[in-house]
Structure 1
Amino acid sequence: MSQHTHSTHPVISARLKRAHGHLAKVIAMLDDHAPCADIAQQLFAVEKAITNAKHVLIHDHIDHCLDSADAKSVNELKTITKYF
C-alpha cells in the first residue's frame, strides 16, 4: 500500500479523535444508565464528527487526486457528496 498523505489528514485525524472521545462518553453513559436523550445527543455528536471527517477526506481526494476533471465537474461532485 502506497503512502497517500494530504494537508487535511491532521484535520481529519483530529475530527476522528473527537468522535472517539464522544463514543467513549456514550459507552460510559450507557454503563451509568444515563437518560436516553443525553445518550442520543452524544451519538449524534459521534455521527456528525465522522460524517464531517468523511466529507473533508472526500473533498480533499477530489481536489488532489482527480487531475483530469474540469472545475465544473469537481464542484458538482463535491455538491453531491453531501448526500453520502
Structure 2
Amino acid sequence: MNDQPHLHETHPEIVKRLRRAEGHLRGVIEMIENGRGCLDIAQQLQAVEKAIGQAKKTLIQDHLDHCLEDVVGVLPRSQRKTIDEFKEIAKYL
C-alpha cells in the first residue's frame, strides 16, 4: 500500500457531504428513539442517502478525471473515445 497521502481537490467537499450525512444520521437515530413519525424519519433518511450518494459520485468522477487520466496518459483522439465514453456513462452510477 502507498504511504503517500492520496488527496484531490474535491476531498474537502466530499468530507463536508459525509459530515452532513453523519449529522442527518444521528438525527434519524434520535428521531426513532424519540418516537417521531415515519414520514419525518423517511425524509431524513432520504437526506442521508442523498448526501452519501453525492459524496460517492464526486469521488468516482474525481478518480476518473485524475487517476485514470494519469495512468492512460496522452492518447490520440481516435483512441480516447472509449475512455471518454466510460467517464461520461459513469456519471449515471
C-alpha contact (below 8 Å) 1:8/1:60 kept by paired residues: yes
Q: Give CA-to-partner distance per residue, 1:10-59, whole Å, 9 cap, x none.
A: 00000000000000000000011000010000000000000000000000
Flag as ranges the 4+ runs of structure 1 deviating above 4 A: none
Q: Distance in 2 between matches of 1:71 and 1:46?
A: 36
Q: One-letter code of the match for 1:4?
A: H
> What residue in structure 2 maps to residue 12 of structure 1?
14
**Structure 2 residue runs without a partner (length 5+):** 74-79
Q: State the 1:71 CA deviation.
A: 6.2
**Structure 1 residue runs without a partner (length 5+):** none
Q: Distance in 1 between matches of 2:34 and 2:88?
A: 41
State TM-score, norm by structure 2.
0.79
Identity %: 48
* Number of equivalent positions: 83
Q: State the 1:79 CA deviation.
A: 2.3
State TM-score, norm by structure 1.
0.87
